Amino acid sequence: MKIFSAAQIREADQYTIQHEPISSADLMERAAGKCAEWIEDHFSPTQPVYIFCGKGNNGGDGLVISRLLQEHGYTVHTCIIQHSPNASADHTLKLQQLREAFPANITEIGDLSDFPGLPDNAIIVDALFGTGMSRPVEGWLAGVIHRINDLRSQHTVIAIDLPSGMIADTSSNHFAVVKAHYTLSFEFYKLAFLLPENAALSGEVHILPIGLSPDYILHTPTRYHLTDRQIIRTIYKPRDPFSHKGTYGHALLIAGSYGKMGAAVLSARACIRAGVGLLSCHLPKCGYEIMQISEPCAMCIPDKDTYFNTHFHTGLADARYKVIGIGPGIDTQPETARSFEQLLHSWQQPMVIDADALNLLAKNPKLLQLVPKNSILTPHPKEFERLFGPAPNDVERLALLSKEAVSRHLYILLKGRYTAMACPDGSIYFNPTGNPGMATGGSGDVLTGILTGLLAQGYTSKEALILGVWLHGYAGDIAAAEHSQEAMTAGDIITGLGQAFKEGI
């Protein structure tokens, strides 16, 4: 699914108005009708409704919702916030229609002292500002937003299109923003919903299709995308019935150290479950028997060292590995760092670089320049900061992520609720699958194994990244459904991979 900027959303509205064709007042009727329907499906007419409307088209939506709910027996109080002497044309029209149909209970709010007292268990509909938000809300208007937020523990807050105060496509960190329980957003996810800094603001997001032009959507380029099944189905390659294990590539996994062999085992298992043809694991001597016994499908190459991987840079060419995954549990010993540097001097194929291998890059940034093009880096936010430095907010962090991916020709993901995946072509994909149960030791090692396994099978780096992160999250959701978010383990994510391949594509 494409994620458009506020300007592009306005263009999509205009394009639809011209080409469907439909009047903007009717498009508003359609959009607000979807919201009214959603509210009717979820809340009973016995609950009083308070709709707070701004004077733009978001407020216009609120006015239509008010009329439609009253037509269906709801008791609605419409509060028009007088933030400006001018109203949009559609707002003016919809206010006139509301006054004609239901003249009672329309109040103007010109100051915080006009804010109404609410009866118990009311529904607050926030239709103050939507995609027209361009600057922070200040003064008494910010007071209105804070008042709504103070009331959220006793009432239900439903934001129309966007929680008011939130800017669709830039950071609204530290602004006054409505904290909604639900956001009913038109046609598209907004970038703002996917940012960790806004986690407490949008609540449950429901995307309501309002019939914006499919032509516009198809032909308008955008850098941001939310992965969905449609994207996944274009990536996934069913297996050729005449294939053999050579078809699916030989991967080398460099993982583990004394006390951290679990990371290597989890990663190897995930790589195998992701469908790799052959897997060799380079391990410290202490991990040899552990791996042989834990994962009989993996071959093992013991290092010269008992406790750490220190000589993994030799013998690579002979084995014809298709891809190398490096990092889970390798620690950051100087000997490991030396071997990693030599590996980077000799290996030119894409790699998957995770965990301690990322920390080794952060300790010695000149190594970053040696990372082969099209490699995948998988930092969590702390590792990202160690590698590329801090950013003042999430939108600037995304810009930094993208800049590094483009300039270094790397695929870099940034783990989170919606893991962001930056590609060298400047695009950024967000992944929606997964849950907080995956915030557990070993989960990242599993992802490294999956990505390595997919690259070995011939998926491009972009395909492996988008598909792998989707499957990892999907398998995590299966694990949480089976065991609960609390009790699920990284191993359960691997177990869920089979079902994820069967049902998640």
Ligand X SMILES: NC(=O)C1=CN([C@@H]2O[C@H](COP(=O)(O)OP(=O)(O)OC[C@H]3O[C@@H](n4cnc5c(N)ncnc54)[C@H](OP(=O)(O)O)[C@@H]3O)[C@@H](O)[C@H]2O)[C@@H](O)CC1
Q: List, edge to edge, every strand of the sheet that includes 411-414.
A: 2-3, 224-226, 428-430, 420-422, 411-414, 376-377, 351-353, 323-326, 250-254, 278-283, 299-302
266-269: long-range contacts, CB 8 A cutoff, minimum separation 24 = 266/328, 266/442, 266/445, 266/446, 266/449, 266/490, 266/491, 266/494, 267/325, 267/328, 267/445, 267/446, 267/448, 267/449, 267/452, 268/295, 268/298, 268/449, 269/294, 269/295, 269/446, 269/449, 269/491, 269/494
Output 23 or 247, the one with its CB closest to ligand X: 23
Please give the structure tokens belonging to residue 1.
């699914």
- 463 belongs to the binding site for K ion (CB under 5 A): no
Q: 134, 154, 306, 346: which one contacts ligand X (CB under 6 A)? A: 134
Q: Is 174 in the site for ligand X (CB under 6 A)?
A: no
By CB under 6 A, residue 131 contacts ligand X:
yes
Residue 131 assigned ligand-binding role: yes
> 159 touches which of K ion, ligand X, none (CB within 5 to 8 A by kind)?
K ion
Is position 160 an interface residue for ligand X (rule: CB under 6 A)?
yes
Pick 67 or 311: Cβ nearer ligand X: 67
- Are residues 174 and 195 in contact, defined by beta-carbon separation less than 8 angstroms? no
- In whole angstroms, the minimum distance from the beta carbon of 56 to ligand X comes to 2
Widest Cα–Cα separation across the chain: 86
Is residue 167 near K ion by the rule CB under 5 A? no
Please tell me whether residue 28 binds K ion under the rule CB under 5 A: no
The β-bridge relationship of strands 204-208 and 411-414 is unpaired
Six-digit token pair at 367? 């190594």
Asked if 303 interacts with ligand X (CB under 6 A), we say no
Residue 504 binds to ligand X (criterion: CB under 6 A): no
- Residue from 13, 126, 354, 356 touching K ion (CB under 5 A): that is 126
**Residues of this chain, 10-29, that bind ligand X according to CB under 6 A:** 13, 24, 27-28
Q: Nearer Cβ to K ion, position 81 or 281?
A: 81
Q: Which of 51, 69, 124, 137 binds ligand X (CB under 6 A)?
A: 137
Would you count residue 177 as binding K ion (CB under 5 A)? no
- Quick one: which of 328, 351, 313, 219 has its CA closest to 267? 328
404 touches ligand X (CB under 6 A): no
Has 445 been labeled as part of a binding site?
A: yes
379 is in an annotated binding site: no
Residue from the set 186, 288, 321, 430 that interacts with ligand X by CB under 6 A: 186
Binding of ligand X by 191 (CB under 6 A): no
**Quick count: other Cβ atoms within 10 Å of Cβ 392?**
9
Rounded alpha-carbon distances, angstroms, from residue 37 to 16, 47, 184, 223, 478: 22, 15, 11, 32, 31
164 binds K ion (CB under 5 A): yes
- Burial code (b: 16+ CB inside 10 Å, e: under 16) for 11-45 equals bbbebbbeeeebebbebbbbbbbbbbebbeeebee
CB of 78 to K ion, least distance (A): 15
Task: Record the tokens describing residue 202, joined without a space.
Answer: 């949008």
**184 lies in the binding site for ligand X (CB under 6 A):** no
From the list ligand X, K ion, none, pick the one residue 164 interacts with, judged by a Cβ distance below 5 to 8 Å according to partner type.
K ion
Q: Which of 141, 263, 330, 360 binds ligand X (CB under 6 A)?
A: 141
Residue 274 engages ligand X in binding (rule: CB under 6 A):
no
Residue partners of 487: CB distance under 8 A and separation at least 6: none
Q: Is residue 35 close enough to count as binding K ion by CB under 5 A?
A: no
Q: Is 136 annotated as a binding residue?
A: yes
Site membership for ligand X, residue 45 (CB under 6 A)? no
Q: Is the peptide bond before 21 cis (omega within 30 degrees of 0)?
A: yes
Least separation in angstroms between CB 84 and ligand X: 5
Out of 46, 113, 135, 241, the residue judged to bind ligand X by CB under 6 A: 135
Query: What are the E-state strand segments in 54-171?
Result: 76-81, 106-109, 123-127, 156-160
Interface with ligand X (CB under 6 A): 13, 24, 27-28, 31, 54-59, 61, 83-84, 88, 129-137, 141, 160-161, 186
Interacting residues toward K ion by CB under 5 A: 126, 159-160, 164
Residue positions forming the annotated binding site for AMP: 415-419, 444
